[in-house]
Structures are given as structure tokens and as C-alpha cells.
């Protein structure tokens, strides 16, 4: 069967990892790379075996041999670059966070519909086998009524190391970069919350260096989640029920090992072959082969709810990027 031809727009750090996942997929090939610098595009293309390199994003999007373009630029460009690709008739996989805010996300989804193309958020954790396993255990009432979930995703960075994380104009801060992962776990297990609270330590430029989110769900469960770009944390998730606990071992967002304690103790190996991003590449390949315009897992509804939740958390924390549709 003909391989799905992928293009990468913005060959930076994460794009390298996605390129490896494309190489690992039997259904895909990396065909083209578009950068603001031809040298950079050509170098990346050579390293990962792409035949085409372009010195502008516009040129990349104009190549009608492409089946799908992966948007890997900083958060604040996701809307502009996804829409550029879609207006050229290209299908799009857009990195997380899907956009800066819900208003931008809505514009992107409308653009996909107007141009009759596929669009998906690259929230790869939702496609992993461990996600299904936890959902199945909770549905089977393995730990009784849920009381509390705690989870975190923190790492140490600096403006010198990763400038985009500290710049309001690039959508900096912990929430959109890593807070989205514990939020994704909690909301994938319990649905979106009925009420929320949040606290943050802001940098002098006003983005959240560290932030904590308190969620209350309709089933009575609560979650306390935190994220940071200036310190480390254990990176595990614990769900406490009235009759037991589920531990998703670090790094919880990769969902590779889960321990159930409910009188007896059982550990499930939910690791997977290949790159963390391979199943996401396969989800896109499969949707395109089936002529779908939306993934049933990373659906538009999921993405809109997540963007709205992060907008609401940002309002409580007082984080304003002064760009995007909420500026
Ligand atoms: N799924 C995951 O696990 C994961 C992990 C890390 C990051 N991400 C997401 O992926 C996106 C990119 O993250 P990254 O760490 O790969 O970013 P990065 O390396 O800092 O930047 C990616 C690329 O964006 C392009 N770009 C366009 N305008 C830019 C600007 N004004 N400033 C800087 N770069 C610009 C650059 O490509 P050219 O210069 O070649 O045009 C750059 O190489 C983020 O939204 C992030 O949340 C996802």
C-alpha cells in the first residue's frame, strides 16, 4: 500500500522525535521539511531521509504531493501555521497545546471544515494502551468510588535553555507546555470538571513558572495537579478510591506501568513498541486512509474542552499572553 507522505513544518526539538516515529511507521514516509532557513530544512531532511526541503513554510504547504503536515512550531504559531497548511488543502497534525486559547482553536476547526481537510491535536498520551487500561479499570470499579487524583509534570529549564517557555508572546509557562498532561490524564478518566481553582508562581514576565490546578468532577472525584518549568517532581499519578488505589508510574503521561492495590496488588505492563509518538502517527495514517476529517480519540470536542479549561485556569492565575484571541 502507498505510504502516507508527511511534511514537517518547524524542524525543532520535538520535530526530531516525530521524524523518528515516522521512520518507524510502515505506513508513512517523511517526504518534505519546511523551515525559515533552507540550510536547516536541508540538514533535517538529509538526517531523516526526506527528499524535499523548503526555505519557507508557504513553499512547504504548496507541495501538493503531501498527504499531511505536522505543525511543530511554538504554541503561539499553531493557529497561523495550521491554517496556512489547511488553506493550501493540506491535512494537519498540530502539536499540543492545539492553540493559545479556545478562540484560536475554534478558528482552526472551522478552517478544517471549510477546506474539507483532516485536523488533529498531537496529544499522544490519549492514544496509548495504558490510557485504555486505566479507563477499563475505573469502569470496572476496581478501586470503588473515586475520591482523589494527584499528578504532576515538572522539569527544570531556563530562558537560556528554552526561551519560548518564558516568553508571554510565545505562550510561555508551565500550563500549556506540561500542565496539559496531568490535565489530560484527569479529564480522560473523569470527564471535564464542574468547578476549578488554580494557583501560580508567575515569572517577572507574567507566565506561570509553576502552577497548581484543583478540579472537582461531577462524580465527586477531586484532582490536585501541578506543573513547573523551573523544578523537578516525581512525575507519577495516583488515583485513590474508597476501596483501593491506582498508581500510574513515572512518567505517568507515558502510561507504561500501572499498579492496582485493592486488597491484592497487581502491576500491569502497558509499555509499547517504538517511539512515544508512533501510535499518534498511526492514528493519523489510519484516519487519512479512511477518509476521516477528525480523530474519534483526539476529537474536536476533546480539544475545545481542553482549550476552554486552560483558558479558565489562566484567567484564575492571571496569565495573559497579550496575544491570541483572549488578548
Ligand atoms: N508532544 C510532545 O511530547 C511535545 C514535546 C515537546 C514540545 N512539544 C510542542 O511542540 C511545539 C514546539 O516545541 P519545540 O520544543 O520543538 O520548539 P522549538 O525547538 O523551540 O521550535 C520549533 C521550531 O519552530 C520554528 N519557529 C517558528 N517561529 C519561531 C519563533 N518565533 N521562535 C522559535 N521558533 C520558531 C523553528 O523552526 P525553523 O527556524 O526551522 O523555521 C523551530 O525550530 C510546542 O508547541 C510544544 O508544546 C510537544
18 and 8 Cβ atoms separated by less than 8 Å:
yes
Helix (H) or strand (E) segment spanning residue 199: strand 195-202
Which segments of the chain belong to CATH 3.30.360.10? 129-271+307-317
- Comparing CA positions, the residue from 119, 91, 117 lying closest to residue 5 is 91
Q: What share of the chain is helix, strand, coil (3-state, %, to 5)?
A: 40, 25, 35
The answer on pLDDT for 156 being more than 90 is yes
| Whether domain 129-271+307-317 has CATH 3.30.360.10 | yes
Q: 11 alpha carbon to ligand 1 midpoint, in Å?
A: 7
Label residue 45 by pLDDT band (50, 70, 90): very high
The answer on pLDDT for 327 being more than 90 is no
CA 149/CA 143 separation, integer angstroms: 12
Task: Give the residue, by CA position, lying nearest to ligand 1 atom 43.
Answer: 12
pLDDT digits (tens, 9 = 90+) for 269-293: 999 999 999 999 999 999 999 999 9
pLDDT digits (tens, 9 = 90+) for 220-234: 999 999 999 999 999
64 and 40 Cβ atoms separated by less than 8 Å:
no
The answer on pLDDT for 26 being more than 90 is yes
Whether residue 257 has its Cβ less than 6 Å from ligand 1: no
Whether residue 210 has its Cβ less than 6 Å from ligand 1: no
Q: 120 alpha carbon to ligand 1 midpoint, in Å?
A: 17
Q: Which atom of ligand 1 is nearest to the CA of 14?
A: 16
Whether residue 25 has its Cβ less than 6 Å from ligand 1: no
Which segments of the chain belong to CATH 3.40.50.720? 4-124+277-293
231 and 158 Cβ atoms separated by less than 8 Å:
no
Per-residue pLDDT, 25? 98
> Going by C-beta distance under 8 Å and a sequence separation of 6 or more, which residues neighbour residue 185?
125, 149, 151, 237, 248, 252, 253
Per-residue pLDDT, 76? 97
Q: Which three cell numbers stand for residue 70?
A: 505536522
pLDDT digits (tens, 9 = 90+) for 159-213: 999 999 999 999 999 999 999 999 999 999 999 999 999 999 999 999 999 999 9
Whether residue 266 has its Cβ less than 6 Å from ligand 1: no
Q: Which atom of ligand 1 is nearest to the CA of 57?
A: 41
173 and 319 Cβ atoms separated by less than 8 Å:
yes
Whether residue 173 has its Cβ less than 6 Å from ligand 1: no
| Whether domain 4-124+277-293 has CATH 3.40.50.720 | yes
Per-residue pLDDT, 301? 98
29 and 6 Cβ atoms separated by less than 8 Å:
yes
The answer on pLDDT for 1 being more than 90 is no
pLDDT digits (tens, 9 = 90+) for 296-307: 999 999 999 999
Task: Give the residue, by CA position, lying nearest to ligand 1 atom 24.
Answer: 73
Per-residue pLDDT, 150? 98
Max CA distance (Å), the chain: 60
Measured on CA atoms in the order 12, 13, 14, 19, is the torsion positive or negative?
Answer: positive
Amino acid at each position: 500500500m502507498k505510504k502516507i507522505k508527511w511534511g514537517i513544518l518547524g524542524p525543532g526539538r520535538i520535530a526530531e522525535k516525530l521524524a523518528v516515529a515516522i521512520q518507524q511507521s510502515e505506513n508513512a514516509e517523511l517526504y518534505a521539511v519546511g523551515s525559515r532557513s533552507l540550510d536547516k530544512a536541508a540538514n533535517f531532511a538529509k538526517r531523516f531521509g526526506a527528499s524535499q526541503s523548503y526555505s519557507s513554510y508557504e513553499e512547504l504547504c504548496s507541495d501538493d504531493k503531501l498527504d499531511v503536515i505536522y505543525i511543530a512550531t511554538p504554541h503561539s504559531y499553531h493557529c497561523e501555521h495550521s491554517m496556512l497548511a489547511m488553506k493550501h488543502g493540506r491535512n494537519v497534525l498540530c502539536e499540543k497545546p492545539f492553540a493559545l486559547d479556545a478562540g484560536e482553536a475554534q478558528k482552526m476547526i472551522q478552517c478544517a471544515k471549510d477546506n474539507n481537510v483532516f485536523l488533529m491535536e498531537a496529544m499522544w498520551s490519549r492514544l496509548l494502551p495504558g490510557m485504555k487500561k486505566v479507563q477499563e479499570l475505573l469502569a470496572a470499579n476496581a478501586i470503588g468510588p473515586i475520591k482523589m487524583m494527584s499528578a504532576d509534570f515538572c522539569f527544570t529549564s531556563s530562558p537560556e535553555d528554552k526561551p519560548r517557555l518564558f516568553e508571554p508572546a510565545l505562550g510561555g509557562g508551565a500550563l500549556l507546555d506540561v500542565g496539559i498532561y496531568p490535565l489530560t490524564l484527569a479529564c480522560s478518566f473523569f470527564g471535564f470538571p464542574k468547578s476549578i481553582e488554580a494557583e501560580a508562581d508567575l515569572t517577572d514576565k507574567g507566565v506561570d513558572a509553576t502552577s497548581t490546578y484543583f478540579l472537582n468532577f461531577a462524580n465527586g472525584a477531586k484532582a490536585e495537579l501541578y506543573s513547573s518549568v523551573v523544578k523537578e517532581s516525581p512525575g507519577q499519578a495516583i488515583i485513590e478510591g474508597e476501596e483501593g488505589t491506582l498508581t500510574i508510574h513515572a512518567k505517568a503521561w507515558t502510561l507504561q506501568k500501572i499498579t492496582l492495590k485493592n486488597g491484592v496488588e497487581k502491576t500491569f505492563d502497558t509499555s509499547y513498541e517504538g517511539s512515544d509518538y508512533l501510535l499518534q502517527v498511526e492514528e493519523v495514517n489510519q484516519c487519512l486512509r479512511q477518509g476521516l476529517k477528525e480523530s474519534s480519540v483526539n476529537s474536536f470536542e476533546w480539544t475545545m474542552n481542553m482549550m476552554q479549561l486552560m483558558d479558565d485556569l489562566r484567567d484564575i492565575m492571571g496569565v495573559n499572553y497579550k496575544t491570541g484571541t483572549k488578548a
